[in-house]
């Protein structure tokens, strides 16, 4: 079981409307999850002209997937109380990844906003070396003993050339993600990819922390993602970071979607 403290906030210029929306939000959360309302605070921000209502909630989850759904759907600011360490099998972790990919893919298609990826043209990468694999099984075993998980993901990509697409993908990944192997498969080029140099699938085998896999899922929207490690261990602090990372991602994208609508 996962136990958290969560803070939910509603702001509005009209006090009664804000209060009503705040109460509706709390009732919805209480219907969907086992939770306790620990405190409620009301504030008047005179300078901005907003009435603010904040609730401190204690929420319980039976599964990791439930925790992920809450973090995404309620853009939650969370403090994790229990457990000290969460141990998951690949299927449990994989279910959460599928939910994340599906949610953010639908969000991108609906609002036409997504995270931009960094690029660096001058980076030198030996693609043939990555196709063969950088590390042997003993190295990979040692990485897993250090708490990293083995992940295989397939992405769709296009660009001037195979090399340019692979370089862009590898550079976009965080430095602490260890990439072992990259393979590509060119697909038949139809519109809108008919005139690009390369269009196809990029398979990446990597070793990384659970929170890095979560970030890859919502930023890159892989076509396929699978966990090769036999178990996934997530500390209390990392579990908290995962929830806040997802809540922050939703907030950032929602703000971008609103600003796009205003322009």
Judged against a pLDDT cut of 60, whether residue 100 lies above it is answered with yes
Q: What is the pLDDT of residues 147-170, one digit of tens each?
A: 999 999 999 988 888 888 888 888
- Residue 25: phi, psi to the nearest 5? -60, -45
Q: What is the pLDDT of residues 43-95, one digit of tens each?
A: 887 667 788 999 999 999 999 999 999 999 997 689 999 999 999 999 999 99
Instruction: Please indicate, yes or no, whether residues 71 and 102 belong to a single structural domain of this protein.
Output: no
According to DSSP, the residues that pair with 51 across neighbouring strands are: 12, 44
Instruction: Please indicate, yes or no, whether residues 178 and 112 belong to a single structural domain of this protein.
Output: yes
Please give the pLDDT value at position 46.
67
Kindly provide the residue ranges of all beta strands, DSSP E only, lying in the chain, ordered along the sequence.
Answer: 2-12, 34-45, 50-61, 77-82, 85-88, 149-159, 178-186, 198-208, 224-227, 232-235
Query: Domain of 131?
Result: 90-232
Count of domains forming the chain: 2
Number of H helices and E strands in the chain, helices first, is: 8, 10
Judged against a pLDDT cut of 60, whether residue 262 lies above it is answered with no
Which helix or strand (DSSP H or E) is residue 256 part of?
A: helix 236-262
Instruction: Please indicate, yes or no, whether residues 61 and 131 belong to a single structural domain of this protein.
Output: no
Instruction: Please indicate, yes or no, whether residues 227 and 253 belong to a single structural domain of this protein.
Output: no
Please give the pLDDT value at position 94.
95
Judged against a pLDDT cut of 80, whether residue 218 lies above it is answered with yes
Pairing of strands 2-12, 77-82: antiparallel
Q: What is the pLDDT of residues 115-135, one digit of tens each?
A: 776 655 556 778 888 889 999
Helix, strand, coil share of the chain (percent; to 5): 45, 30, 25
Please give the pLDDT value at position 226.
94
Instruction: Please indicate, yes or no, whether residues 219 and 102 belong to a single structural domain of this protein.
Output: yes
CB atoms within 10 A of CB 88: 20
Please give the pLDDT value at position 63.
97
Please give the pLDDT value at position 93.
96
Q: How far apart are CA 159 and CA 164, in angstroms?
A: 6
Instruction: Please indicate, yes or no, whether residues 28 and 128 belong to a single structural domain of this protein.
Output: no
Q: How far apart are CA 56 and CA 69, in angstroms?
A: 19
Instruction: Please indicate, yes or no, whether residues 157 and 186 belong to a single structural domain of this protein.
Output: yes
Q: How far apart are CA 200 and CA 210, in angstroms?
A: 27
Cα pseudo-dihedral 8, 51, 19, 67, rounded to 10: -10
Confidence tier at 17 by pLDDT (50, 70, 90)? very high
Please give the pLDDT value at position 3.
97
CATH code for the domain in which residue 29 is found: 3.30.70
Confidence tier at 111 by pLDDT (50, 70, 90)? confident
Q: What is the pLDDT of residues 158-215, one digit of tens each?
A: 888 888 888 888 888 877 899 999 999 999 888 888 888 889 999 999 999 999 999 9
Contact 194/145 with Cβ under 8 angstroms?
A: no
Contact 72/250 with Cβ under 8 angstroms?
A: yes
Instruction: Please indicate, yes or no, whether residues 247 and 145 belong to a single structural domain of this protein.
Output: no
Tokens representing 237 are 């602090």
Instruction: Please indicate, yes or no, whether residues 62 and 173 belong to a single structural domain of this protein.
Output: no
Please give the pLDDT value at position 224.
94
Instruction: Please indicate, yes or no, whether residues 60 and 189 belong to a single structural domain of this protein.
Output: no
Average pLDDT of the segment spanning 28-49? 89
Confidence tier at 253 by pLDDT (50, 70, 90)? confident
Question: For the whole model, what pTM was predicted?
Answer: 0.88
Confidence tier at 261 by pLDDT (50, 70, 90)? low
Q: How far apart are CA 88 and CA 105, in angstroms?
A: 25
* Per-position b or e across 167-199, b if 16+ CB within 10 A of its CB: bbbbebbeeebbbbbbbbeeeeeeeebeeeebb
Instruction: Please indicate, yes or no, whether residues 153 and 253 belong to a single structural domain of this protein.
Output: no
DSSP string, 88-108: E-HHHHHHHHHHHHHHHHHHH
Instruction: Please indicate, yes or no, whether residues 58 and 7 belong to a single structural domain of this protein.
Output: yes
Q: How far apart are CA 226 and CA 183, in angstroms?
A: 15
């Amino acid at each position: 079981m996962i136990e958290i403290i969560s803070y939910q906030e509603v702001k509005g210029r009209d006090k009664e409307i804000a209060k009503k929306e705040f109460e509706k939000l709390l009732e919805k959360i209480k219907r969907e999850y086992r939770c306790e309302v620990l405190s409620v605070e009301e504030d008047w921000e005179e300078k901005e002209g907003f009435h603010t209502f904040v609730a401190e909630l204690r929420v319980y989850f039976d599964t990791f997937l439930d925790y992920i759904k809450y973090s995404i759907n309620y853009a939650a600011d969370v403090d994790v109380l229990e457990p000290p360490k969460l141990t998951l099998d690949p299927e449990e972790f994989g279910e959460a990844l599928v939910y994340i990919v599906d949610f953010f893919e639908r969000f991108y298609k609906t609002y036409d906003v997504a995270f931009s990826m960094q690029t660096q043209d001058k980076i030198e990468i030996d693609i043939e070396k990555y196709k063969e694999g950088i590390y042997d099984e003993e190295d990979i075993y040692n990485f897993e003993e250090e708490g990293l998980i083995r992940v295989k993901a397939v992405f769709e990509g296009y660009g001037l050339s195979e090399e340019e697409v692979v370089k862009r993908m590898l550079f976009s990944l965080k430095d602490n993600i260890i990439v072992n192997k990259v393979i590509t498969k060119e697909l038949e080029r139809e519109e809108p990819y008919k005139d690009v140099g390369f269009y196809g699938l990029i398979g990446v085998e990597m070793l990384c922390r659970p929170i890095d896999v979560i970030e890859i899922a919502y930023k890159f929207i892989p076509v396929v993602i699978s966990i090769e490690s036999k178990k996934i261990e997530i500390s209390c602090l990392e579990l908290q970071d995962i929830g806040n990372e997802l809540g922050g991602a939703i907030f950032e994208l929602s703000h971008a979607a609103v600003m796009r609508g205003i322009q």
